[in-house]
Amino acid sequence: MKNFADRLLEAIEKMENPSCIGLDPRIEDIPDFITKENEKKYNKTKEAVARSFFDFNKMIIDATFDIVPVYKPQIAFYEKYGSEGVKAFEDTVNYLKKKNKIVIEDAKRSDIGPTAEAYAQGHLNPEGFDVDAITVNPYLGIDGVKPFIDEAIKYGKGIFVLVKTSNPSSGDFQDRVLENGKKLYEVVGEMVQKWGVGTEGERGYQIVGAVVGATYPEQAKVLRKIMPKSIILVPGYGAQAGGARETIPNFNEDNQGAIVNNARGIIFAWKKEPYNNKFKPEEFHLVAREAALEMKKDLMEALKNQ
What would the pLDDT profile of 155-202 be if each residue is shown by its tens digit?
999 999 999 999 999 999 999 999 999 999 999 999 999 999 999 999
Residue 64 to residue 67: CA distance in whole angstroms: 6
Looking at residue 198, what is its pLDDT?
A: 98
Maximum Cα–Cα distance across the chain: 62
| Amino acid, single-letter form, for residue 61 | I
DSSP letters along 73-91, please? EBTHHHHTTHHHHHHHHHH
Looking at residue 243, what is its pLDDT?
A: 85
Pairing of the two strands 70-73 and 102-109: parallel
Minimal CA–CA distance to 88: which of 134, 42, 133?
42
Angle at Cα 22 formed by Cα 199 and Cα 43, nearest 5°? 130
Q: What integer is the mean pLDDT of 261-281?
A: 92
Looking at residue 241, what is its pLDDT?
A: 59
Q: What integer is the mean pLDDT of 122-149?
A: 98
Instruction: Tell me the H-state helices in 101-183.
Output: 113-124, 142-155, 171-174
Residue 149 contacts by C-beta under 8 Å, 6 or more apart in sequence? 159, 195, 199, 207, 208
Domain count, the chain: 1
pLDDT-derived band at 1, boundaries 50, 70, 90:
confident
Judged by DSSP in three states, 259 sits in strand
Of residues 46, 58, 97, 108, which has the active-site annotation? Answer: 108
In 3-state terms the chain splits into helix, strand, coil percentages (rounded to 5) of: 55, 15, 30
Q: What is the pTM of this model?
A: 0.97
Q: Is the pLDDT of residue 240 over 60?
A: no
Residue 44 to residue 78: CA distance in whole angstroms: 16
Angle between helices 82-98 and 46-64 (to 10 degrees): 20
pLDDT-derived band at 26, boundaries 50, 70, 90:
very high
Average pLDDT, rounded, for the chain: 97
The domain in which residue 174 lies consists of: 4-304
Q: Is 97 a catalytic residue?
A: no
Residue 226 contacts by C-beta under 8 Å, 6 or more apart in sequence? 186, 189, 190, 193
Q: What integer is the mean pLDDT of 94-113?
A: 98
Residue 220 to residue 23: CA distance in whole angstroms: 25
pLDDT digits (tens, 9 = 90+) for 251-264: 999 999 999 999 99
Question: What CATH number corresponds to the domain at position 141?
Answer: 3.20.20.70
Looking at residue 172, what is its pLDDT?
A: 97
